[in-house]
Amino acid sequence: MDKGIVSLVAASTLGEDIGKNFASQLEKELESRGVDASFIGTLSSPDKISEIGEHGSSAILVATGGTESIIVAVGKLSRTIHLFYHDSYNSLPSALEAAAALRELGKIVHLHRIEEVSELADFIKKLSIAANGALRLSRCKLGVIGGVSDWLVYSRTSVDDVKRKLGTEIVNIPLGELVDGMEKGFTLNEAEPSKLGAAESKVSPLELSKALTVHKSLEKLVKKYDLCGLTVKCFDLIVAKNTTACLSMALMNSRAFPAACEGDVPLMISMALGEFVTGRPAFMGNPSKVSEEEVLIAHCTSPLISRFRLMTHFESGLGVGVSVEYPVGEKATLFRIDPKLEVLRIGLGQIKKWGWRSDLCRTQILLELKGADKILKKSIGNHYALILGDWTEEISNAAEILGLNIEGF
């Protein structure tokens, strides 16, 4: 199924002029926004739908009543359907009837009331962004370097399931390839914290040089295997080379290239979806403290989105970890896809002030999030991804296009 979207105006034969008027307005609104979406104009008969192939999502403006058969015919070709109704011309009754029929067929249907066509154009723009992100994920290759960490006893999914459900290809790469690529390292002169923009460094130039060598080797693997994201079984790297991949993960995610720790494939996929949809860096963290309306997440890597310090990796005291200061008061989207690739859990929170602690991973974010205790009550695994800003709608739409169910906190 094509992960793209189709948008149209549905009107009855008697109301065709009304539909054409809406379509003219919508076409102008979409053009003014530069929306990359397939707008096919007005449909007044299901007989004219043969040109529309299967697609990820449809946005249908229900211009008049008597359009149920058109809506259902288009909806059968869609994974998710968004019906937009207004207060005139029996728009809502038609939308309700068609929605019930499509839901009985197992389709995901959302109804939206609009007062102006511009509202629909704004939504289609967001939906188009989501569809592009979903399409990119379905076509990309994600690398798993060294395998999955032993302690991730639940956060595992098979290569075949990822391909079948999402279309994404998983490439398994031996850790030895990463280690072999580290033979040619950086000189000490190249390993200066100031060149990275660090406000402070508590690691030696030698440790920084080794961490940058890891990054250089990972970049080679990205190019060799044409990867659009990766995850590393990083603790095995500590054993092999007495260094960590934390800094490389930080540098990659800083440019919105999804890079996850510990061989966590579901979280890598979560980060990839979030970064492909939003174009923003994602943070991967452990829930370290959870209450009904707060969650503290921490990890030794983070996108370098603001002031940061270079420190050692928390558990080992080796390598280079990063401690990034996240902006207090900013909204942030927290999310995770479950290992069965069936559910996206997602919610919007606000970053709160937090006193840094030495007994946790280096980057620490306290998020005010209603229903955060669902992390405890209904665990779907350890790690969660966080992106600054409210991206709940866009990421959720992309997940639905990929066939996932949406779950809040």
Q: What is the pLDDT of residues 309-337, one digit of tens each?
A: 999 888 887 889 999 999 999 999 999 99
Return the sign of the alpha-carbon dihedral for residues 233, 238, 239, 240.
positive
Per-residue pLDDT reduced to its tens digit, 214-258: 999 999 999 999 999 999 998 898 888 889 999 999 999 999 999
Q: What is the pLDDT of residue 2?
A: 65
Q: What residue spans of 145-264 are helical by DSSP H?
A: 159-166, 175-180, 193-196, 205-225, 234-241, 246-254
pLDDT at residue 118, as a whole number: 96
Residue 185 confidence (pLDDT): 64
179-190, pLDDT tens digit by residue?
A: 999 876 666 566
In the predicted model, is pLDDT for residue 384 greater than 60?
A: yes
How many residues are there in the chain?
Answer: 409
Domain annotation for the chain: domains and CATH numbers: 5-138 (3.40.50.10940), 140-407 (3.20.14)
pLDDT digits (tens, 9 = 90+) for 40-73: 999 998 887 877 888 889 999 999 999 999 999 9
Neighbours of 407 (CB within 10 A): 18
SS3 category, 367: strand
pTM of the shown model: 0.93
- C-alpha to C-alpha distances, 121 to 61, 88, 115, 126, 322, nearest whole angstrom: 10, 19, 12, 9, 41
